[in-house]
Amino acid sequence: MADIRILPAVLVNKIAAGEVIERPASIVKELVENALDARAARIDISVEEGGKRLIRVADDGAGMSSEDAALAFRAHATSKIATDEDLFAIETLGFRGEALASVASVSHAHLRTRRADDGAGSGVTASGGELSPPRPCPAAPGTTVTIRDLFFNTPARRKFLRTPNTELGHITEQLVRASVPRPDVSFTLTHNARQVHNLPAVASTTARIADLFAADLADSLLPIVARSGRTGVAGLIGRPAASRASGKWQYFFLNGRFIRDRILAHALREAYRGLIDPGRWPVAFVFLTVDPEEVDVNVHPTKIEVRFRDSQMVHGELLAALRETLNRADLTPAAALDEPSGAIQQDPAAESRRQSLREAIADFFESKSSGASPQGRMSPAPRETSQRSAPQTVHPSPALGTLAAREPSSPVPATAPGQYLTDKPPATVSAAGPKAIQIHNSYIVAADDEGLIIVDQHALHERLIYNDLKGRLGDGKLAGQRLLIPQTFAASPAEADALVSAGETLGRLGIEVAPFGPETLAVQRFPTLLVERGVSPVEFMRQMLDGLAEGWGPDQEQLLEELLSMMACQAAVKAGEKLGEMEIDDLLARRQQADKSSSCPHGRPTTLKLTLPQLAKQFNRS
Interface contacts to Mg ion, rule CB under 5 A: 34, 94, 99
The one of ligand ADP, Mg ion, none whose footprint includes residue 105, by CB under 5 to 8 A per kind, is none
Nearer to ligand ADP, 127 or 524 (CB): 127
Give the binding range for ligand ADP (CB under 6 A) out of 62-70, 309-317, 463-471, 488-496: 62-70
User: Of these, 24, 50, 51, 94, which contacts ligand ADP (CB under 6 A)?
Assistant: 94
Q: Does 180 interact with ligand ADP (rule: CB under 6 A)?
A: no
- Report the alpha-carbon distance of residue 165 to residue 69 in Å, rounded: 33
Give the binding range for ligand ADP (CB under 6 A) out of 74-82, 424-432, 519-527, 584-592: 74-82
User: Of these, 99, 221, 306, 560, which contacts ligand ADP (CB under 6 A)?
Assistant: 99
Check: CB of residue 568 under 8 Å from CB of residue 466: yes
Q: Does 42 interact with ligand ADP (rule: CB under 6 A)?
A: no
CB of 99 to Mg ion, least distance (A): 4
For residue 190, give every residue at least 6 positions away whose Cβ sits within 8 Å of its Cβ, in sequence order, or none. 44, 45, 46, 47, 196
Contact string 451-470 vs ligand ADP (x = CB under 6 A): --------------------
User: Of these, 24, 54, 59, 545, which contacts ligand ADP (CB under 6 A)?
Assistant: 59
Which amino acid does the sequence have at 504?
A: E
Q: Does 44 interact with ligand ADP (rule: CB under 6 A)?
A: no
Say if residue 94 is exposed, middle or buried (CB neighbours under 10 Å; 0-12, 13-18, 19+): buried
CA separation, residue 270 to residues 57, 275, 436, 519, 562 (Å)? 39, 10, 35, 36, 12
The one of Mg ion, ligand ADP, none whose footprint includes residue 46, by CB under 5 to 8 A per kind, is none
- Report the alpha-carbon distance of residue 40 to residue 121 in Å, rounded: 17
Q: Does 78 interact with ligand ADP (rule: CB under 6 A)?
A: yes
> Angle formed by the axes of helices 581-594 and 457-474, to 10°?
50
Q: How many residues does the chain have?
A: 622
Nearer to ligand ADP, 39 or 248 (CB): 39
Q: Kindly provide the b/e burial profile for residues 61-80, where b requires at least 16 CB atoms within 10 angstroms of the residue's own CB.
A: bbbbebebbbbbbbbeebbe
Q: Does 106 interact with ligand ADP (rule: CB under 6 A)?
A: no
Closest listed residue to residue 108, CA positions, set 71, 66, 151, 63: 151
Q: Does 95 interact with ligand ADP (rule: CB under 6 A)?
A: yes
- Report the alpha-carbon distance of residue 76 to residue 35 in Å, rounded: 18
- Report the alpha-carbon distance of residue 582 to residue 330 in Å, rounded: 25
CA separation, residue 363 to residues 439, 445, 450 (Å)? 8, 9, 19
Contact string 124-163 vs ligand ADP (x = CB under 6 A): -------------------x--------------------
CB of 495 to Mg ion, least distance (A): 56
User: Of these, 27, 70, 72, 498, which contacts ligand ADP (CB under 6 A)?
Assistant: 72
Residues near ligand ADP (CB under 6 A) are: 30, 34-35, 38, 59, 61-64, 72, 77-80, 94-101, 143
